[in-house]
Amino acid sequence: MPLSGFSCKRHITNLTIFSYILQHSVLICYTGSVFDRWCFRFNFTFFHIRIMSFRRTNLFLLALFLLFLLQAPFSVAAKAAAPDGPSLIARVNALLNRKSVFMKNVMTVTDSSGRERKLAYESRGRDYNEKTLICYSAPARIRGQAILMLNNADDIWMYFARTGRVRKLATHAKRNSMEGSDFSFEDIGGGNLFVTDYSSRLEGEEPVNGVACYRLRLTRKPGSSSAYATLVMRIRKSDCYPLVIEYFKGAGKTTPDKRLLLSAIVPVQGVPTARRLTMLDLRDRSSTVITVEVVDYKSDIGAGAFTVQALNQ
């Protein structure tokens, strides 16, 4: 039977149901009291399909088929869009670690007694922060001092301007405080440790100051030398930028040792960037604030700058 040019010979009631979906319309016409013919008309923007004359016995199968057609694309899209821990932490890592970066920062350290001291330094990163070079400009006692961190802070060298000497630190030194602050060498130069040294799991959603966020739990992998057994992050759902990171040094701990707050987030050369980072030591009740004054993700920093030989120059 042709799909066009057909007209029902029996009387048809006036009951019609209209449903418009994405510029499409579906018209379902119910037959009269005998219920032995059904008229379906699908009117699309580019296609006109008429499916007519279905027996009552086919109605149930037809309804199931239509339900499948309508639901299948949405269920597939929902599954494809569902986030998981590894994919989310990969996006976090991509935001925090760029191919190259140059920054001018001011670090304000406040001890448990409320006393403050300030340090100014330039920071350079290369190869997604696998290599980090820090050069201090203030205060005067450490002006010219430099720190070179390679292999995600597994290898650390310090240059002392007063003596003109370079000293390599032990591997475990990456857990130590950097210049008496609440940031460790690992916190600054850890690079992509979130991906390489931790397994990640999405725990759900948890807002931060009214901002919709995912909650991620990162667990240290066996064999990792990272200082933290567990990390808990809250990252924005909109772009996966982290707002809060909590650090747990011992396995099974329920109270974090440190908490990092990232704020004043603005786009810089198309990259979301926190201009203020506050690290809270929850045990010692001290804090350190890094204020980012200058940041450039397009600076061309040569590999030669990240060598021990370059520290003496």
Same domain, 57 and 198: no
Rounded distance between C-alpha atoms, residue 37 and residue 6, angstroms: 13
Question: Residue 43: what pLDDT?
Answer: 46
Same domain, 179 and 30: no
Q: Considering the chain, what is the average pLDDT of its residues?
A: 83
Same domain, 104 and 163: yes
User: Does residue 29 belong to any structural domain of this protein?
Assistant: yes
User: Does residue 144 belong to any structural domain of this protein?
Assistant: yes
Question: Residue 1: what pLDDT?
Answer: 39
Same domain, 123 and 63: no
Domain that holds residue 95: 85-311
Domains contained in the chain, number = 2
Same domain, 177 and 250: yes
Structure pTM?
Answer: 0.76
Question: Residue 8: what pLDDT?
Answer: 40
Mention every residue, 6+ apart, whose C-beta is less than 8 A from residue 151.
130
Same domain, 65 and 190: no
User: Does residue 3 belong to any structural domain of this protein?
Assistant: no
Question: Residue 72: what pLDDT?
Answer: 55
Q: What CATH number has the domain bearing residue 287? A: 2.50.20.10
Rounded average pLDDT over 156-167: 96
Same domain, 47 and 157: no
Question: Residue 23: what pLDDT?
Answer: 41
User: Does residue 4 belong to any structural domain of this protein?
Assistant: no
User: Does residue 106 belong to any structural domain of this protein?
Assistant: yes
Same domain, 239 and 286: yes
Question: Which of 4-18, 62-76, 216-230, 263-277 is predicted least confidently?
Answer: 4-18
Long-range CB contacts for residues 146-153, cutoff 8 Å, separation at least 24:
146/311, 147/178, 147/185, 148/306, 148/307, 148/308, 148/311, 149/174, 149/185, 149/188, 149/189, 150/306, 152/189, 152/190, 152/191, 152/192, 152/193, 152/196, 153/185, 153/186, 153/188, 153/189, 153/190, 153/191
61-99 pLDDT, tens digit per residue, is: 655 665 666 665 554 444 456 799 999 999 999 999 999
Question: Which of 51-55, 149-153, 268-272, 281-285 is predicted least confidently?
Answer: 51-55
Rounded-to-5 percentages of helix, strand, coil across the chain: 20, 45, 35
pLDDT at 12 over 50: no
Q: What is the greatest pairwise CA distance in the chain?
A: 104
Same domain, 270 and 246: yes
Before 139, cis peptide (omega within 30)? Answer: yes
Where residue 51 falls among pLDDT bands split at 50, 70, 90? very low
Same domain, 68 and 151: no
Rounded distance between C-alpha atoms, residue 204 and residue 217, angstroms: 10
Same domain, 63 and 95: no
283-303 pLDDT, tens digit per residue, is: 999 999 999 999 999 998 999
Selection from 166, 139, 175 nearest residue 257 by Cα: 175
Single residue among 27, 55, 81 that ends a domain in this structure: 81
Single residue among 50, 81, 112 that ends a domain in this structure: 81
Rounded average pLDDT over 94-108: 97
User: Does residue 7 belong to any structural domain of this protein?
Assistant: no
pLDDT at 155 over 90: yes
User: Does residue 147 belong to any structural domain of this protein?
Assistant: yes
Same domain, 95 and 239: yes
More confident residue, 276 or 12: 276
Selection from 243, 119, 115, 247 nearest residue 175 by Cα: 247
163-208 pLDDT, tens digit per residue, is: 999 999 998 999 999 999 999 999 999 999 999 999 999 999 999 9
User: Does residue 136 belong to any structural domain of this protein?
Assistant: yes
Single residue among 59, 81, 103 that ends a domain in this structure: 81
